[in-house]
Structure formats: structure tokens, C-alpha cells
Amino acid sequence: MAVTESARLKRALRRDLSAVRAALADDEVAQAAEALAERALKLPELAEAGTVAAYVSVGREPGTGPLLRALRERGVRVLLPVLLADNDLDWAEFEGHGRLVEAEHAGRVRLLEPSGRRLGPSAVTWADTVLLPGLAVDGRGVRMGRGGGSYDRALARLAESGADPALVALVYGHEVVDMVPDEPHDRRVHAALTPEGVHRFAR
């Protein structure tokens, strides 16, 4: 199968941004996670949400640990993804970091996921707000993920169901870029949250 120009550009952008993340020091990552949580908790999309679909950050991603704890303490129902063998996402409720286990289908990545009852791939449609991982977001709200396609499926499921939650990508400040190569299946996010602030895009 021929590789499109868009795919080639995405691959190069992923490589460059991943290299910058890899160079971050542990204390920089920890400080960014605390700042991200503080800013996130002030967002109307989270302040007014009863159910939030989120994720457990891995590696040098903007950390979600403090935010997950704070949402649960607020009484928000938090759904976390469970990676399936075909790279699709099931969902289960976050019951605390002590109830997270290593994902069975994550390959070389040490991915943590909830150990509780599986709710089915369609559970993402219950969310008032969906927090999305990403490597970059541009000024149009086009998000670039890691390339596995898991969240593309979840976002397609939202569109097919008619659900319309707020879509918020969590990235570092330098990862809000001028342009991300997009493809017809890409669904744009409504906001990008960084440790420094929030960027909103037209819905």
C-alpha cells in the first residue's frame, strides 16, 4: 500500500516531537503533570462533567496521575481505556491507582489500565468530556496521536452514536503547532490543554 504524503509528514512530525519529549527531565514531567491538573480542574468541561473518559499517561506524556486522583475525589465518574487485541478500546471505571494493572496487549509499552468490569467499547459515548492523548494539535483542532488508530476508532464511535462530548487533547505547550497533516477520518478536538493554559477551537 502506497504511503501518502500526509502519512509521511505525520511520521516525521511524530519523530521530532517524540525526541523532544524523550529529552524531558523527570522533574519537568512531574511539574507539568501538577500544572496540567491545576488548569484542567478549572475547565468548565470538567467542572460540569458527571462522567469523563480519560487515560493513564505513559512515558514522557503530559502526566494524568494528579488529574485522575482529583477527578475521583470530586466524585466524577472516570472511565479509562482497556486496549484490546485488535487495537480498539474497551472501557472500565477508574477505582484508584492501586487498581491499575499492566495492559495485556500493550506490547513493549508499559501501559496501565483498570482491572475492574469491562463496560464495552461504546461506553465512551457516556462521557460528557473525553480527554485525549496526543503528540500535537494545530490551530484548527486537528490532533495527531501516536499512530495506532485506537482513538480514531473511539472518536468514530462517538460520531456514529450522535454523542457530542467536549473533546480535549492534553499536550505540552510546544506541541500546539501551526499545522498537523490531516486526513478525512480525523475528528477535530474542541480544546488543547497544556501545563501553561488552554487553546480553544471553533466547534
* Torsion sign (Cα): 81, 23, 198, 145: negative
Is 143 assigned a ligand-binding role in the annotation? Answer: yes
User: Which one-letter amino acid corresponds to residue 133?
Assistant: P
Is 146 assigned a ligand-binding role in the annotation? Answer: yes
The CA-atom distances, in angstroms, between 75 and each of 51, 68, 71 are 9, 11, 7
Is 10 assigned a ligand-binding role in the annotation? Answer: yes
Is 61 assigned a ligand-binding role in the annotation? Answer: yes
Is 187 assigned a ligand-binding role in the annotation? Answer: no
Is 148 assigned a ligand-binding role in the annotation? Answer: yes
Is 167 assigned a ligand-binding role in the annotation? Answer: no
Answer whether 144's CB lies under 8 Å from 107's CB: no
Is 14 assigned a ligand-binding role in the annotation? Answer: yes
Is 173 assigned a ligand-binding role in the annotation? Answer: no
Print burial letters for 117-148: b (CB count within 10 Å at least 16), e (below 16): eebebebbbbbbbbbbbbbbbbeebbbbbeee
Is 179 assigned a ligand-binding role in the annotation? Answer: no
Binding-site entries for ATP: 10-14, 143-151
Binding-site entries: 10-14, 56, 61, 143-151
Binding-site entries for substrate: 56, 61
